[in-house]
Amino acid sequence: MEVVERRLEGLNVLIDELFEYTKLNAADKVPDMERRDVMELLRHILYENKILMEAEGLTLSWELEARAYPADINTGQMIRAFQNLLDNARRYADPSAPVTVTAQDRGRLHICISNRVADARSLEPDQMFERFYRGDKARSDARSSGLGLAIVKRILELHGGEVNASLEGEELSVHLFLG
């Protein structure tokens, strides 16, 4: 029964994420845009995630050079993008090193989320934002549908931004650009 319950939970996550991904891909532009301070939103999400990560023995730190960055965004979608990235870091970070977030405004907002990963050999940063990508091909993790980062990519595209990843040794960095 426990195995069946875990599988059903995984199917529910997959169905929900497939539905969201399909809705995002059908959109030509983001509905319900509003002028918001992206940095204020990011700070709020970081404080919430700091508590979650500490409960799992991880450290979350940040250095935000950008004080404010007003932009027209869909708040719910931007929260989803930040949350997906931080969930990913929390799930796969090596607990012996901190998850770090930086933000710089150089005419364009650059947010970088970095963490050491346990098994860097199985990662392909240039493919991480493709549908159903999973770093460990043998993993059957009910917590992951393989759509979270594809959803992030589509949200950023709808906001006129972009996202990519780089890997140096065991340090994975995800770069978001807005503006």
- How does pLDDT run along the chain (179 residues), one tens digit per residue? 777 777 767 666 656 665 565 666 676 666 689 999 999 999 999 999 999 999 999 999 999 998 899 999 999 999 999 999 999 899 889 999 999 999 999 899 999 999 998 777 777 777 788 755 455 443 444 445 567 898 899 999 999 999 999 999 999 999 999 98
> Considering the entire predicted model, what is its pTM?
0.80
Structure tokens at 127: 């493919």
Structural domain spans, the chain: 2-178
Give which of 116, 115, 103, 106 is closest to 42, Cα–Cα.
103
Q: In this predicted structure, what is the pLDDT of residue 103?
A: 97
Which string of b and e fits 107-126 if b means at least 16 CB within 10 Å? Answer: eebbbbbbbbbeebeebebe
Place of tokens 């940040």: 62
Q: In this predicted structure, what is the pLDDT of residue 17?
A: 61
Q: How far apart are CA 36 and CA 49, in angstroms?
A: 20
DSSP calls for 61-73: EEEE--S--EEEE
Q: In this predicted structure, what is the pLDDT of residue 139?
A: 44
Q: In this predicted structure, what is the pLDDT of residue 125?
A: 74
Q: How far apart are CA 79 and CA 63, in angstroms?
A: 19
- Domain 2-178 in CATH 3.40.50.10070? The answer is no
Q: In this predicted structure, what is the pLDDT of residue 24?
A: 65
φ, ψ (nearest 5 deg) of residue 137? -60, -25
Q: In this predicted structure, what is the pLDDT of residue 19?
A: 58
